[in-house]
Structures are given as structure tokens and as C-alpha cells.
A and B are shown apart, each in its own frame.
Chain A
Amino acid sequence: MTVETRQGIGGGHFAGLLLAPVRWAMNLIDRPMSFVQRRFGLGGVAAAFLAPNMLVFGIFVLFPMTLNVAYSFTGGGALFLNNRVFVGTLQYETLLACRDFLDAASCREDRFWRAVGNTGFFVVVQVTALVLVSLATALVLNREMRARGFWRAVFFFPVLLSPVVVALIWKWILQRNGLLNAALLELGFEPVLWLVNRGWAMFWAIFLSIWAHLGFYTLILLAGLQAIPRDLYEAAEMDGAPRWRVLTRITLPLLWPNMVVVILLALIRAVQVFDEVFVLTGGGPGTATLFLVQYIYETGLAQQVRNLGLASAASILMAVVLIVLTLIQLLASAWRERKEQR
């Protein structure tokens, strides 16, 4: 394997000089790489390149996950696995002990099921709204307009903020003496306890998470929009295709791979929702905005007797749901691609 550089038009010797050290380094490793390739085949080389990453993944993701599974079969207040008591599937049985799965109050771990219900509602509404608003924002920001860079930065800015900062900002806005109520009072309305009313608390939890993450998903969609060849739009314009048809027949189908990424990431992020909402509402009022991760955190870490077994079992169940959702999403995407190819 010898690296050669091709000089483009006017590429000149300067680029060649810049690339010389790279070429030298690549030539240097050529012999050992050729040997490894001959000895272990292409797959072996690929495995060697992947090994460091897999090692990090193994230590920091796979090992804790395995540990989590092990914890979910134990009980007691001890921290270390070897000091804990094996209880079999007891923690799962506790979580799943329900007379009626549609009525959280009939479950032994009612807070878990309330958290499941809240998370399910949050995921459906937040992901749908987030994807639609991100798409609309990306479509607007993709158009020729004044100060386009500035507007893109405006929408992306909240992504740069810490979730705690985002939540505190909105808490100041929404509390009884906050900015929103001050504005309402100025307009002659009565102040509203936004975070004490169950419906409003959920609304603001969803609103806040959309506001905080919109920029990130918009950016992904914007990249997808810019990759769509301009000549398709020009052809549609020449044919006199209406805007709606252009959107549904050109933009959306070609944007679909990016949409899949956005939906998948938004879905996973929504199931994992915790930090912003925890700071904003603390899971309240009552358990109105109690989500799964907060339930796991409180059960495993904030109780007087830390129930790590139950918390681990809940997190395993959550992981199973996430895996199923991801698989459904990927299968749907693959099915769509096959259909288009036909």
C-alpha cells in the first residue's frame, strides 16, 4: 500500500509539501499493515482498528450494563454486588405486580407505572411536536433570507446551554412571581400557578424540552435539505408543481434518512428525559411529571434505603422498551427503502 497524492488544478507543490509527512507516515506503516492483512485477512485489520473503541465501549457501557442486569436480580441495601442477596426475579415481579395495568393505583409500585404512563405520553407528544417543529424550522432556515446565519445561531443557541441552566431560566419565567405572570398582571389577567397545575406542568415540561433541543434536530434536517440537488426543485418549478407537491414528492422523501435519524434520536432522548424536567418541576405536581429516569434515580439513590435492585430492574425494562422502539424504527426505515427501490 503506497500513498500517492494527486495534484488538482493549480494544486501545486505547496499541497504536495503539506501532505509529504502524511505520505511518509503511511508508507512507513505500509509493511506492517500488509503483513497483518496477509496474516489475518481484511477482517482482522478491521478488528484491530475497532479494538480500542470496543475496549472503551466494553469498559464504560457493556460492563456497567451487565452489572446492571446482575443488580436487578439482587436485593438489600448493600452497595457492592458481592454483599447483596440474590432474590431471583423478585424485583421484576414487584414492578409488574398490577391488578390492572391501565390503572397505576392498582399496582404495587404505583409510582413506576405513573412514571411509565407519563413517559409514554411525553414521548408521543414531545417527539411528534419536536420533529414537526424542527422540520418547519429547518424548511424556513433553508430559504434565502436576510441574516440567515444569525437566525440559525439563534435556534441553535439553547442547545449550547446546560440543561440545568435551561430549567432554571424557565423556572424563573414560570414561577408565581416570574416573568410570565408579571406580563399577565400587566395585561390585567390573574397570575397562573403554571407548575402547580398538572396539565400546565406537563405542557411546560414538553415545551421546555422542545425549546432546548430544537436547534440540534433542526441542524440535522438542515444538512439533509442542503444535500438535496437544486436541479430537482428547478425541474419542479419549470413543471409548475405547487409548493405542497414539491414538499411531499421531493423534499420529504429525500429528507427521509435524516428524518429517521432525528426521530430515533428524539425518541431515545425523550424516553431518557430527566435533568431539565427534574429541575423545573421536581416530577410534580404529585407525580404529574414524574418520568422513568427520575423514578429510577429516586428508587436507587434518593430513598433512605437505596433500592438498587428495584432501580436496576426498572432500568432494564426501560432499556428493553428502547431497544424495541429502535428496532421498530429501523425495520420501518428498511421496509420503506426496499419499497422505494422496487
Chain B
Amino acid sequence: MLRKTTLVAALAAAASFSAVAYAQDPVELRFMWYSDGNEGDVMADLLSRFEEENPDIKVVLDNVAYTVIRDQLPVQLEAGQGPDLARVTTLKDLAPHWLDLRHLVEDPSYWEENFGNYLDWMRPQDSDMIPGYMTQLTVTGPFVNRTLFEQAGVELPGEDATWDEWAEAVKKVAEDQDIPIPLAMDRSGHRFTGPAISMGAGFIGEDGMPAVIDDGFKAMAERIARWHEDGTMSPEIWGSVSGTTYRGANEEFANAEVVMYYSGSWQIGQFAETIGDAFDWAAVPNPCGPAACTGLPGGAGVVGIKYTEHPEEVARLMDWLASEPVLKEFYEHTLFLPGHAGLTKAGLDYQSDNPNVKESLDTFVGAVGNLAPLANRMPAWEWANVTYFAIIGRLGQVVAGELSLEDAYSRIEDDIAQQIEEAQR
């Protein structure tokens, strides 16, 4: 009897020890992340606080290059692998791989209420899942080197100025100040699309399929070609690389070699660091065309990956990260535009004493309100990226002198058709 009791006691002790050991062994979540500015540091700080509050979860922040997220993550996902969470910009195309948090988060209505405007951007078509939240809302728009305008004695064009008026003004400044690049635009179909919508481009046909080449599109494409010919734009950005390769002009702008740089709100944090007070710079409202004065929204979001072995823990982390006070802190320290309705309404106190930063953030917050309805539709359109890629590859060839505009138009249509055919096969 004694032996039996001893055995039971020993087993119970072993079980309790293993239970304690099990309880003390935290679940590890892998979080794939990339950074444009300081957001990796801000997130690391937030995560260490989350771990203090949730000792049963350990989060490993895998800081990788953006190209890893863009090129390697999709392959991992296709193979049913990948991290537990990731920060991504390809929100819509990879949506079938996201974890549906609807039944895992504490209060789905909080998510719908605050992130509802952007959930369609990251959901599969016709789905009501909750895949994640936006770490930043971005809007494309121009930055100008105000010091150069002042030195050249050229007045900054006003809020309703057209693209042509801006092109004329920046060329004057560049000639006066001997600046090599009057106007630069990121080599990206996404960046081209906002101005093209301003010119009246329609992009989406009535059947939801691409209808890209129209008068509005041609109006902007012709301007891009003409500006490269007359020296308003330098071939260094659009003409120097091939295919869909991205090329920005942020270094050139920071070196005061560009008068006006068409990029987007995500550059603010970087410019605050790299330019500092070397010269006066600011974001200005999007130039106008006959149809609108719009940029293009977009952004990056954090999503759960459906192949995770720890969906409950992922949801707990997402609930914590997406909570209003945590997100407020994140946006204020990273200088990102909020993708959270409550915070957008309440406003943010951005942590920067640089007046250029404050002014630029105000401009981009204003730009969100001025977005054309079509521009707001684009991020949730399933063929948006296919279209952007085709545009940049072919217009890049026009700038390099390989294709005429007419040839480029037909090639763009062919490329899009081929990609859609391949995707639907």
C-alpha cells in the first residue's frame, strides 16, 4: 500500500513539475518585419513590453530587408510555411494566406469600427474576414525643396496648381539654381497612377477588369515622356533600370539635387533624419489634372499568417498591438499616418520638433481627405499590382528610347492580359 501511495505521489509530483515546466515554456511567435525608418526600433520596444505583460508569449522580431518580404515571403506562403505574423505591403494579392482573426480577437466590432475602411484592402475578394491592421496609411504626393524655390525667387505654386504649372515652376528653379533634376518621381506604377487619375484615367472597367489605356492615362504618359525629353525629369530614375525594378530619388532629394520629388508620406521619417535642418523641405498638395488633384493611398499592414500553429497567441498579440493606446504610441513615434479611424479623428501628437515634419504630416493628412473615389478603390482592386508592374516596365522603356508611346500602350495591355490569363489558368 505504501509503495502504491509513493508511486502515485511520485507520478503526481512529476506531472506537476512537467506542468510547471510547460507553463514556463513560452510560446514563440516569429514576426517578419521590415523597416523604412525607425519603426523597427519602436516595434521592438513595444514587443518587449508585450512580453512583460504576457510572459507566456515570446515574440521574435525578424528584421529583414523589404525585398525579402516582397520576393521570399510569397514563396514561403505558397508552400504553406512562413512566420506567425508579418508586416506586408502586398495586402490584397496574398490575402488567401492571412489568418482570419474574426473569431479570435476579443472584440471584432472594435476592429470593424476602427480598421473597417482598410480591411477590404487585405481581404480576399468578397470576404468579411479580419486579417490584420494597418501599421501605416500612406498617400503618394510631392515633396519640394523650399530653400531652392526661395533662392531662385520662384513662388511655390498654390494648392490648385496643375501638373503643368508645377513642371514649369520646378524647371525654372532648377535652371536658376543649377540643379540637375527639376522633377523626380519614384520609378513605380503605383506612383504614376495617382497623377494619371488626376488626368482622368479610369483604370477599372465596368466588369472590374483592367481598362487601363484611355485619354487620361495617355495624358499623363505623354507628360512623363515629354518631361524626360525636355529635361524636366532625369532619365536617372525611370530610365536607368529595367523591368519592374523600383528606383527612388530619396538620396538625390536629401542631397538637394532634386527640386520636387513625387513619392509619398512614408518618406517623412527618413527625410527628418537624413535632411534634418540642412534645407527647408515640405510635402505639398498633389498637383491637379482636369479630373482631380489626387494621390494614391496604400500602406503597410500587420497580418497573421494562417499557417501559424499558435492562432490564439497571434490574436492576443494583434489585439494588443492594435489597441488604441499602443497604436497611438506607434504612429506618434514613427511619424506614420494613422490607419485607425478613432485615432484619425482624435488626432495625434507626432514626436518631432522639426517644423518640416509637422507641415508635411498635415499636408498628407489633408491629402487623405482629397483622394479621388477611384484612388480609394485601387488598393482593394485585385489587378492593381499587375497593372502597376506593366505600366512601369513599359513606360520605363519609353523613357529609355526603346519604345514609342503607342507601342508601350499596346504592350501594357498585352502584359496585363498575359498576367491575368496566367493567374486565372
Q: A residues within 8 Å of B by Cβ?
A: 75-80, 85, 87, 105, 108, 110-111, 114, 176-177, 193, 195-196, 198, 281-290, 294, 298, 301-307, 309
Interchain CB contact under 8 A, B240 and A195: yes
Q: Shortest CB–CB separation between residue A28 and chain B, in angstroms? A: 46
Our pick among A78, A193, A307 for the contact of B78 (Cβ within 8 Å) is A78
From B71, B239, B243, name the one whose CB has the most chain A CB atoms within 10 angstroms: B243
Interface residues of B in 380-425 (CB under 8 A from A): 385-386, 388-389, 393, 396-397, 399-403, 407, 411, 414, 418-420, 422-423, 425
**Interface contact tally, CB-CB below 8 A:** 108
Taken together as a complex, chains A and B put the C-alpha atoms of A272 and B58 apart, in Å, by 44
Contacts A196-B236, A282-B241 aside, 13 further interface pairs with beta carbons under 8 A come to A76-B422, A80-B78, A85-B425, A114-B402, A283-B245, A285-B241, A298-B243, A298-B244, A303-B389, A304-B93, A304-B386, A304-B419, A305-B422
The 3 A-B pairs at the shortest CB distance, nearest first, are namely A286-B400, A283-B242, A282-B241
With A284-B400, A303-B419, A304-B419 in contact, is A289–B242 under 8 Å at CB?
A: yes
Q: Shortest CB–CB separation between residue A299 and chain B, in angstroms? A: 9
A109 to chain B: closest residue by CB: B418
With A105-B407, A284-B400, A304-B385 in contact, is A77–B423 under 8 Å at CB?
A: yes
Q: Shortest CB–CB separation between residue B398 and chain A, in angstroms? A: 9
| CB of B75 closer than 8 Å to a CB of A | yes
Taken together as a complex, chains A and B put the C-alpha atoms of A195 and B362 apart, in Å, by 38
Instruction: Label chain A's interface by main secondary structure.
Output: loop
A-B contact pairs, 15 of them (CB 8 A): A75-B422, A77-B422, A79-B78, A85-B425, A196-B236, A281-B242, A282-B242, A285-B241, A288-B242, A290-B242, A303-B419, A304-B389, A305-B419, A305-B420, A305-B422
Taken together as a complex, chains A and B put the C-alpha atoms of A177 and B251 apart, in Å, by 11
| CB of B79 closer than 8 Å to a CB of A | yes
Q: Shortest CB–CB separation between residue B219 and chain A, in angstroms? A: 23
With A176-B180, A304-B385, A305-B386 in contact, is A284–B422 under 8 Å at CB?
A: no
Chain A residues within an 8 Å CB radius of B75 = 79, 301
Our pick among B93, B243, B388, B423 for the contact of A302 (Cβ within 8 Å) is B243
Interchain CB contact under 8 A, A305 and B244: no
Chain B residues within an 8 Å CB radius of A288 = 242, 400
Our pick among A76, A196, A286, A289 for the contact of B402 (Cβ within 8 Å) is A286
Interchain CB contact under 8 A, B244 and A79: no
| CB of B235 closer than 8 Å to a CB of A | yes
B385 to chain A: closest residue by CB: A304
Interchain CB contact under 8 A, B422 and A111: no
Chain A residues within an 8 Å CB radius of B245 = 282-284
| CB of B255 closer than 8 Å to a CB of A | yes
A201 to chain B: closest residue by CB: B240
Interchain CB contact under 8 A, B242 and A286: yes
| CB of B172 closer than 8 Å to a CB of A | no
